[in-house]
Structure 1
């Protein structure tokens, strides 16, 4: 058990909290960073392993899409509920449950004898991720002294940035070496360390005002609606089928039911009142466009590099590292630039710069050279993402009252993951890639050359929405907003959740 007492309250312990410069403070940062880093590593390495997974398990493209999407589906649907459970029953308790759950599901992924069980285990991994992800930052906010919270979040985010940068390299090395199953087995010793350190050094914290009312119907409806729509989009690659059409119509109907349930719920998982803010609605539309494009690019680029260009998984993983390094080094400056210029400029220019990098990827083909074809493209993409992501998060927080910053950033995180979910399902069939065609270099190359302009178009749409709907003074008073730390933005796959995550409006 922990050697520190239970801590109540959203704001943590104020001046009596844990100090960052102490041994205990460092242990707390290490535990939370390793826990969230474990989920982050898994999100960055699986794409690199997809071609090998498909070859080993004899899986078609749709099955590989579900290998990615099963995780994102449960994570997107349940992440807000996971934060609510931590507020009510104890953030450390729910965080530990999530870590153990994630580890057991990872073992299931590693042992999966076929792709069907791998997809099931990946969905269970997403449940674990939804339990541990909100808690990692919320615990820092709750247990550190007020004057040390920003430093604790900065240290946490720096370590998270290292995990994001190392992930593709480590994943490629494991896939090239002992095999793709080891990208999941790696989570077991990491989880054991996280559990031991958290149980020994992290105090419990909870929100004494949490009601205990949870929007379970909303979470179930969200998961079923996302599943139906994702299945329909994935099946479209094989042409229209009765099952795909039925799934799509069911997904649309369940989406309507979800909106009705959230409107009537006293404690909604997704407070629809947030969308009365034009700024909040606009920035989430931008999020849907840009993060959908990011996910499409990350999925198909690693396949293109391995199947068409003949790169090893290790080199394919290394190709993505410049993006994370640029975000880690310069996101803080981009955030300050966004406050100086207003969010309209970076949210308009950033997606266009990313689109330019995506179009540069059209040079990547059968005879691609890493230094002249791959590196320039990913560097331009990384520069645009660095310019874009920090101001986007700051604008989300500025769109609502300070007390609702947690739920606002949580909704934005879920929107980004849902966008990735739909992009991974829809972009391959839209580009003409289906079945076993991902194993044929000519088919992959043709699909890649169709998909990159689609992704660039999504980015241009996000830029246009920002230009037309987001004011340059959106970050000025009367919209006070917490200073965004650079480390909130080191994960290229989704925005980070604000540390004061308050998923249930009724709390």
Structure 2
């Protein structure tokens, strides 16, 4: 009897399911970048300091990252469909509250509400794709979801700048409302109702609290240690280490832990989770340091600098879905390594930038970095999800999102730290407006080389991962069942 031909094309129903899930990723990506450009306008509107307005970002990030594991466990307990739609509703309500906030305190609280919903829709995206679609479609489906995430992140600064300039900062939150309403209606009609994978499970509340303190002190510490008074940041980092240790001890002893730590005994699971963090660290580091290079060294106006930066997410958008589909056919290891190699080359080229480098070359290097990241990222997500059993997919989906967001935080913090060390006293001189921006070029080179080192480490880790060919068929747990 002939072997069945693996399914490689989505049905209309499957594509609609992926689009609903991808809308959540689009909103998460958009919200991750749309707020930054409006912070000066928000600070001026409420007449508050830069430090105070930065908590509009920090509060959201702390809640989001801390609740990702809890959100994925709730999906396992109550069913992915209902929790996902509920998270969408909470995110949409939080967005409305943000736009209507009369004070900075209310805005920060509304951002925390928004972050709870954001944690749910972020955590459950990958596990819903894995659960609702056959194994042979996993890579291309995750590639579509990744493309929507990157599209949202790419449009964030552009849309945010336009809405803030043309109307007011409130509209950067109101823009979420129509997308959220459409996604909720589509989700109620399209997402299949499935029995929870772990209906008798219980939420590990002590674990949630421990990871909240560990992550929040880590983020606060990393953002504070670079200031003139580094001691509070160092204290926060020490507290973070203590609570990470307590979290690991708790998870080892808990009857129903947030994360099945035994999964980390598998080399592929552990190393590829680390690589999720590494590739995100490099990308986030470049995205935070490039505006300084463009504006300080190249003397390019802010709006034009934002347009140049679009080359990176465009590279990701164009390659992620294709890479996902290819990984469904040839396996995940080769695309992942290829992506890391391309990123390494791109960062080596970026480390050669000077005050005389043409804008065209800068755009090509950024596009190349985005293309490499897109080639590696969706197969990497697919590989991690494929390393665990169905009962652990929810927590793994949340873990991947936590590693992604943690990578963003660490990337920003470490790249800025490397640039500060490389610049030495020059950075202080620049802040006093006594140094030409070209004098900081070596600091940017050091930052790009640091990011290149992260990519090289990613290649070495992937070489130690055993290659797995795609199964090409559903394993029964991911059948559609309409």
2:12 to 21, 26, 31: 21
| Alpha carbons of structure 1 residues 405 and 209: separation in structure 2 relative to 1, 3 Å | closer
| Alpha carbons of structure 1 residues 177 and 278: separation in structure 2 relative to 1, 3 Å | same
Secondary structure at 1:388 match in 2: helix
Secondary structure at 1:285 match in 2: helix
Q: Tell me the residue number matched to 2:218.
A: 229
Take 2:382 and 2:136, find their aligned partners in 1: how far apart are those partners? 21
Take 2:212 and 2:386, find their aligned partners in 1: how far apart are those partners? 28
TM value normalised by structure 2: 0.78
Matched, 1:130 2:119: yes
Matched, 1:97 2:89: no
Take 1:80 and 1:462, find their aligned partners in 2: how far apart are those partners? 26
Q: Tell me the residue number matched to 1:466.
A: 459
Report how far residue 187 of structure 1 moved. Answer: 1.0
Q: How does 1:171-182 map to 2 (within 5 A)?
A: 171-182=160-171
Q: Tell me the residue number matched to 2:262.
A: 273
Report how far residue 264 of structure 1 moved. Answer: 0.7
TM value normalised by structure 1: 0.74
CA contact (8 A) 2:221 2:234 kept: yes
- Residues 392-440 of structure 1 deviation map (CA, whole Å, 9 limit, x = unaligned): 33443455557645544542331121121233345445544999x9897
| Alpha carbons of structure 1 residues 66 and 427: separation in structure 2 relative to 1, 3 Å | farther
Report how far residue 221 of structure 1 moved. Answer: 1.0
Report how far residue 61 of structure 1 moved. Answer: 5.8
Q: Tell me the residue number matched to 2:6.
A: none
Matched, 1:311 2:304: no
Take 1:144 and 1:341, find their aligned partners in 2: how far apart are those partners? 21
Matched, 1:293 2:279: no
Take 2:49 and 2:467, find their aligned partners in 1: how far apart are those partners? 46
CA contact (8 A) 1:322 1:382 kept: yes
Take 1:341 and 1:287, find their aligned partners in 2: how far apart are those partners? 13
CA contact (8 A) 1:295 1:423 kept: yes
Take 2:103 and 2:435, find their aligned partners in 1: how far apart are those partners? 27
Structure 1 gap ranges (5+)? 1-18, 484-498, 501-507
Take 1:307 and 1:106, find their aligned partners in 2: how far apart are those partners? 34
Report how far residue 114 of structure 1 moved. Answer: 6.0
Q: How does 1:92-491 map to 2 (within 5 A)?
A: 92-112=81-101, 117-136=106-125, 138-139=127-128, 162-207=151-196, 209-240=198-229, 243-302=232-291, 305=294, 309-313=299-303, 315-334=304-323, 336=326, 339=331, 342=334, 345-346=337-338, 348-359=340-351, 362-363=353-354, 371-372=359-360, 374-397=362-385, 399-400=387-388, 404=392, 407-428=395-416, 431-432=419-420, 450=443, 453-464=446-457, 466-467=459-460, 469-471=461-463, 474-476=466-468
Take 1:304 and 1:55, find their aligned partners in 2: how far apart are those partners? 26
- Residues 12-66 of structure 1 deviation map (CA, whole Å, 9 limit, x = unaligned): xxxxxxx9436xx776555433333222211232344455555656666655654
| Alpha carbons of structure 1 residues 173 and 439: separation in structure 2 relative to 1, 3 Å | farther
CA contact (8 A) 1:289 1:459 kept: no
| Alpha carbons of structure 1 residues 99 and 259: separation in structure 2 relative to 1, 3 Å | same
Report how far residue 258 of structure 1 moved. Answer: 0.7
Report how far residue 83 of structure 1 moved. Answer: 1.9
Report how far residue 442 of structure 1 moved. Answer: 6.1
CA contact (8 A) 1:158 1:328 kept: yes
Take 1:60 and 1:430, find their aligned partners in 2: how far apart are those partners? 26
Q: How does 1:49-68 map to 2 (within 5 A)?
A: 49-50=38-39, 52-53=41-42, 62-63=51-52, 66-68=55-57
Take 1:373 and 1:184, find their aligned partners in 2: how far apart are those partners? 35
Take 2:79 and 2:61, find their aligned partners in 1: how far apart are those partners? 25
Take 1:169 and 1:115, find their aligned partners in 2: how far apart are those partners? 24
| Alpha carbons of structure 1 residues 347 and 142: separation in structure 2 relative to 1, 3 Å | closer
Take 1:447 and 1:60, find their aligned partners in 2: how far apart are those partners? 27
RMSD: 4.2
Q: Tell me the residue number matched to 1:486.
A: none
Q: Tell me the residue number matched to 1:40.
A: 29
CA contact (8 A) 2:339 2:373 kept: no
Take 2:386 and 2:192, find their aligned partners in 1: how far apart are those partners? 31
| Alpha carbons of structure 1 residues 48 and 368: separation in structure 2 relative to 1, 3 Å | farther
Take 1:175 and 1:307, find their aligned partners in 2: how far apart are those partners? 24
| Alpha carbons of structure 1 residues 247 and 115: separation in structure 2 relative to 1, 3 Å | farther
Deviation larger for 263-272 or 132-141: 132-141
| Alpha carbons of structure 1 residues 51 and 375: separation in structure 2 relative to 1, 3 Å | farther
